[in-house]
Structure 1
């Protein structure tokens, strides 16, 4: 068992090194096994096939990255949000081949590390909502942030490093803020959406309401911030 775990870790690390240095085409079962000093059948025993190995590489890479994304509850919510954005952009640009693997839709839907990263993002969004600055629902803001961030990184890594526009990430970030934030730091008197978004963050702590009442209130507040459900 110990040897199998060690071999698994070694194969993942070797595959990630090959992916980082030479791109996905270099990650063959033969090349990975040779670099790890093992026989190719070891990969099939531990991962099933090459795709299973790549799944493990993506999970390992994103788990290591997500471990540095903890929400800073002592920071201003917007500063913490910007820190998260910069970390995400930096990770993608520093690890383009790994990032392309991590955001592959075939892997993200089943990745525990991806889900953990999305929870961190949602926590950052929730802190902004609690200040009354969110103009849309929390989930929409998180989804939009994920979409803009992913699109920005993929656009940048598609270009040669010397051809990348250094202003793209900052411009995309400002456009994102314009889409999800109100202009004022406190909810305006007619800011029903911002007020609803702020109240939505407190619903889980409203012990005066029953669980059924909290679910109903959550549904109402979500309807205010995102509109009625599509029919």
Structure 2
């Protein structure tokens, strides 16, 4: 079977052919000859559009992952914490709907090299966490929160993929998500949205909020002043649960 005669230009046919072959092989092998035959094109056409076989694979993965990150633009709410929950669910669903894509994205990492394809999703998570920090809802710095939530989200998704479909414990996703959020949010932020205003009133919450705002706009501060202020705000943010010294 080939994609010859299907709608779409040569680039789209190559993407579809490569995706089908990757899915059929479980992501283990991909022959450029087989891709070209399936797409109904010659090898020079593949290299013209993608440069190499790895370029084609990267484009296929990027196309698949874009289907996960794009819905965020039209589904955001006024509550960054709820948006993080929705993003977590889209992440898990993408992995379960496209296990081959997901395994290639997260299962074949290289030491010291962040994945450029998944970077947009990571950036979106940081944006939501930054907004939460502005509102005094975070209990840890944005970067720490992003790394913790992403690690939990990826680990949960990979775990669910390995479970037989009929025995899959979807409640695991909810439990790990709420535990991950509890670890990074200010206690008041775990309450319903209308009751969260108290979070910003605490010293720790105010320090984290100010740290986020200063990082976004350090105008008027020297590099040394900026660094000193960040250090002081980090100390205040981390001491919110300790009594002030006499």
TM-score (norm 2): 0.75
Corresponding position of 1:221: 233
CA contact (8 A) 1:136 1:193 kept: no
Distance in 2 separating the partners of 1:38 and 1:57: 17
CA RMSD in angstroms comes to: 3.0
Tell me how far 1:219 sits from its aligned partner: 4.8
| Greater alpha carbon shift after TM alignment, 218-227 vs 26-35 | 218-227
Distance in 1 separating the partners of 2:212 and 2:78: 18
Corresponding position of 2:173: 169
Tell me how far 1:194 sits from its aligned partner: 3.0
Corresponding position of 2:58: 55
Tell me how far 1:14 sits from its aligned partner: 1.8
**Runs (5+) with no aligned partner, structure 1:** none
Corresponding position of 2:71: 68
Tell me how far 1:39 sits from its aligned partner: 3.1
> Which residue among 200, 206, 212 is the counterpart of 1:201?
212
Distance in 1 separating the partners of 2:58 and 2:110: 9
Corresponding position of 2:123: 119
Distance in 2 separating the partners of 1:141 and 1:71: 24
Tell me how far 1:170 sits from its aligned partner: 0.4
Alignment of 1:4-15 (within 5 A): 6-15=9-18
Q: How many equivalent pairs are there?
A: 220
**Runs (5+) with no aligned partner, structure 2:** 1-7, 189-195, 240-246
Mark the CA change 1:134 to 1:56 in structure 2 (over 3 Å): closer, same or farther: same
TM-score (norm 1): 0.80
CA contact (8 A) 2:11 2:49 kept: yes
Corresponding position of 1:94: 97
